[in-house]
């Protein structure tokens, strides 16, 4: 099959897809502009030659299943706009012809990183830049390691709650969801109505105190990304169990129990997470470390930001899903931003 015939097939699929969008009253994008179609066809033809070599038959897009190879070829282009245009051409071609999401998704993620153009540094506030210049990831990890060895840590529930929350944020890029978080057994959680589930975020006990899950139902982008559920790492599970032991909470008592409380017995809410973490880290590290800074500092960093590898994109996607945000937002705002 010649380039011309394959061009025609892709072009027809793009036009057909555009017509369907045009008829969909809920979709404001409509039919593709002629210039856009022309650019897509030119881009997919160029990318095919780059991947398969000049003279190779252009009779399908199965070569796009080899993400690593395509990524490496696109990487050879220096201009970020050129990279993005090539990827957009491939995405449009794959989507309109009907390739499965597992083939398309990595290219959508790559496109989002290109669109962000690694503008991460521009999203640091002056205060954040000062803190992230002074405090490194290792400083926080060393501080938490020292805290874990202090026998007095568990004698102050405010301090221990902050320690556990900080430890959680070295793994999970949450916002302030640990505030207003309730503990509940799975068997009880499953019986809750939708409105009850959305009242707050949950720490769900799946197998006693040995296996737990974070179930986020009340967060900033809930309407867009839906409920987020993720298994709790064993280290954090042990910390939560310790909290329950210190508070003499038995398994039978676990029903809508606040996970984090102060030494006075007040439950942490989202505002108190900010206040208490700020006080805790200022005392221990000399600067107030927020959950936003934690998400930025402990986010995945690409070795070459404008040419992320498929493996790096998998990590970025996982972190974006945990936080409930787009890949573009994750890549451009929540990475390891200060060397």
Cα gap 226→173, rounded to integer Å? 16
265 dihedral zone (left: phi>0; alpha: psi -120 to 50; beta): left
Three-class SS of residue 204? strand
How many helices and strands (H and E) does the chain possess?
16, 5
DSSP 299: S
What contacts 89, CB < 8 A, 6 or more positions away?
39, 40, 41, 42, 43, 44, 46, 47
Counting as low any pLDDT under 50, the low residues of the chain are: 1-3, 118, 120-122, 336-339
Domain boundaries, the chain: 3-116, 123-291
pLDDT at 334: 57
Query: pLDDT tens for residues 150-159?
Result: 999 999 999 9
Q: Which residue has the tokens 């493996």?
A: 311
pLDDT at 232: 95
Query: pLDDT tens for residues 280-314?
Result: 999 999 999 999 899 888 887 777 766 788 888 88
DSSP per-residue string spanning 155-183: G-HHHHHHHHHHHHHTT---SSTTTTEEE
pLDDT at 120: 45
What is the pLDDT of the chain when averaged over all its residues? 86
pLDDT at 2: 44
pLDDT at 3: 45
Q: What's the maximum distance between 2 C-alpha atoms anywhere in the chain?
A: 76
pLDDT at 335: 53
pLDDT at 337: 45
Cα gap 59→14, rounded to integer Å? 16
CATH code of the domain made up of 123-291 = 1.10.443
């Amino acid at each position: 099959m010649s380039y011309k015939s394959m061009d025609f097939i892709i072009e027809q699929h793009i036009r057909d897809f555009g017509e369907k969008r045009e008829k969909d009253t809920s979709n404001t994008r409509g039919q593709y502009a002629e210039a856009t179609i022309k650019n897509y066809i030119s881009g997919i033809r160029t990318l095919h030659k780059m991947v398969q070599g000049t003279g190779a038959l252009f009779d399908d897009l199965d070569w796009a299943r080899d993400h690593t190879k395509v990524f490496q070829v696109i990487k050879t282009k220096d201009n970020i706009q050129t990279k993005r245009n090539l990827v957009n051409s491939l995405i449009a071609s794959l989507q309109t012809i009907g390739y499965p999401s597992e083939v398309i998704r990595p290219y959508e993620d790559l496109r989002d990183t290109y669109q962000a153009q690694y503008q991460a540094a521009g999203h640091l506030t002056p205060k954040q830049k000062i803190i992230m210049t002074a405090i490194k990831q290792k400083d926080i990890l060393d501080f938490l390691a020292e805290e874990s060895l202090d026998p007095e840590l568990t004698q102050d529930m405010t301090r221990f709650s902050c320690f556990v929350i900080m430890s959680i944020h070295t793994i999970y890029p949450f916002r302030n969801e640990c505030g207003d978080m309730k503990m509940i057994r799975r068997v009880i959680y499953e019986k809750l109505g939708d409105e009850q589930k959305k009242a707050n975020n949950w720490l769900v006990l799946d197998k006693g105190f040995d296996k737990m899950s974070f179930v986020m139902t009340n967060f900033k982008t809930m309407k867009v990304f839906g409920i987020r559920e993720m298994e709790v790492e064993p280290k954090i599970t042990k910390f939560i169990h310790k909290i329950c032991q210190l508070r003499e909470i038995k398994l039978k008592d676990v029903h809508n129990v606040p996970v984090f409380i102060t030494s006075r017995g007040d439950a942490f809410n989202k505002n108190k997470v900010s206040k208490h973490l700020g006080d805790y880290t200022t005392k221990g590290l000399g600067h107030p470390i927020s959950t936003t800074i934690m998400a930025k500092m402990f986010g995945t960093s690409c070795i070459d930001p404008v040419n992320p590898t498929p493996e790096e994109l998998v990590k970025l996607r996982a972190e974006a899903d945990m936080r409930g945000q787009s890949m573009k937002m994750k890549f451009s705002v929540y990475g390891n931003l200060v060397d």
